[in-house]
Structure 1
Amino acid sequence: MAAPFIDALLGAERPVIMELKPRSAEGEELFRGRSSAEIVARYEAARAPCLSVVTGRWFGGDTALLAEVTERTELPVLQKDFITNAGQLRTASELGASAVLLTAALLPRAALARLAERALALGLTPFIEVANAVEIEALPECEGCVVAVNNKDIRVRERGVADLDRSRRLLPAVQRTGTPCPVSASGIDDPRTAARLLTAGYAGLLVGTQLLRAGRLETWCEELDGLRPAAPPTRRAG
């Protein structure tokens, strides 16, 4: 089965998932009077391979925002929320999402495996979020999944400073899961950090707050491009 989200990210020259999130963890308004359509257009102009839409209430999101975004773009879209049941997966599919967040810290091993299997059956890519080695060891078969290291702590609603060393420490374990697409997510503020993570072996990054704050998104992207060694994009076999 085709996996548009993974294929788009692995085939991207600049593999940055660009996120729409109405509020930061600290309550800062991030849309700043811009509509979702304006932000989508901005991200498309920056050649985003995929988008992420936060529908969780912590960050001011809802499923109406997801519907607005998927109606306005052909890019694969990740729904970021605490998905815990099959009904939420069906809703995500109906609203046009291509991938769904599954948080290992919140889901027992068997439930995570069932939801990942069901997501794949619906044509959704499981975007499995982990924060430590124990969670990685408990993951189901990850061949058709993204495995993403969250650099922030969901126990404090992702407030505070990101632990970017977490991504560096956990990358070998993530790669051993069999995922074709390891991702580092959250707290990636500057292009230099982004470049280091990609050079270390991450196939993609998820960046939200900093891109929404950026006065000129193109400058952030151009700086990232200048810091990365020239290399052809990775493509999936088959």
Structure 2
Amino acid sequence: MSFIDTLLAAERPLIMEVKRRDADGGDLLGGRPVGDVVAAYEAAGAPCLSVVTGRWFGGDLDLLREVADLTGRPLLQKDFVTRHDQVPRAARLGASAVLLTAALLPRSSLRSLVAVCLEEGLTPFVEVTTEEEIAAVPDADRCVIAVNNKDIKVRERDQGDVERSLKLLPALARSGTRCPVSASGIDGPPVAARLLDHGYAGLLVATALLRATSPRAWSDDVHALRTTS
């Protein structure tokens, strides 16, 4: 299945992220092989994985290739994709979805990049922070539209504001997307459960899971909080 369909079908719709460094340059792997992180995410029931290839966070294309060799889960390449040639390259390296950051792309560029993704069989994973950016997403029913709770202008060094995700839910519903996602700044299972209960189809979680003792226990806690709320 495609990235979007796999996420929509998941019992525990957590996109778990592989990322080498946090926004301040701190090591998130702690000496662990990437394979150990991927195996822990699979054991935790992650339907999809995100792989940060952006240099801000110590990423590169080799990391995407490595993760693709380790798992059959659909993968999101998380980087600043601004050129058409980056899309087929992502597909060749094993990605099933690519990040398109609406704040960085003129409407015409966003439209053409979404079209290229769909032509290549990839899910456009469009990151937004405002109602205006949501309204600009073409073919929204075929895209993941993800609210970034952090501020890229400060390289995501802020704590994040999940209230942004809650505030933008009506605009996401109007857009026609089948798959609204809340991304970044989700620091614990109670916050995750709250976002899912309010109507998000999926969450992208990175630092909190990489610092957790057990991604499986983290996922179990989210599931328990949802079923008892």
Correspondence list, 1:80-95, <5 A: 80-95=78-93
User: Which residue matches 1:224?
Assistant: 222
User: How do 1:49-128 and structure 2 match up within 5 A?
Assistant: 49-128=47-126
- Offset of 1:217 from its aligned partner? 1.9
> Any residues of structure 2 matched to 1:9-88 within 5 Å, and which?
9-88=7-86
Partners of 1:153 and 1:89 lie apart in 2 by 24
1:195: Cα distance to partner? 0.3
Residue aligning to 1:208: 206
**What is the SS of the residue equivalent to 2:77?**
strand
2:139 corresponds to 1:141? yes
Question: TM-score under structure 1 normalisation?
Answer: 0.94
Gaps of 5+ in 2: none
Counterpart among 147, 155, 158 of residue 156 in structure 2: 158
Which 5+ residue runs of structure 1 have no aligned equivalent?
Answer: 231-238
8 Å CA contact retained: 1:183, 1:204: yes
Paired residues of 1:109 and 1:140 also in contact (CA < 8 A) = no
Give, in angstroms, the shift of residue 112 of structure 1. Answer: 0.2
Cα separation, 2, equivalents of 1:61 and 1:13:
29
Deviation at 1:88, TM superposition (A): 0.6
The number of residues matched between the two structures is 229
Partner residue in 2 for 1:184: 182
Q: Aligned-pair distance for 1:141?
A: 2.2
Structure with greater helix share of residues: 2
Q: 1:198 aligns with which of 192, 196, 199?
A: 196
Taking only the aligned residue pairs, the percentage that are identical comes to 60
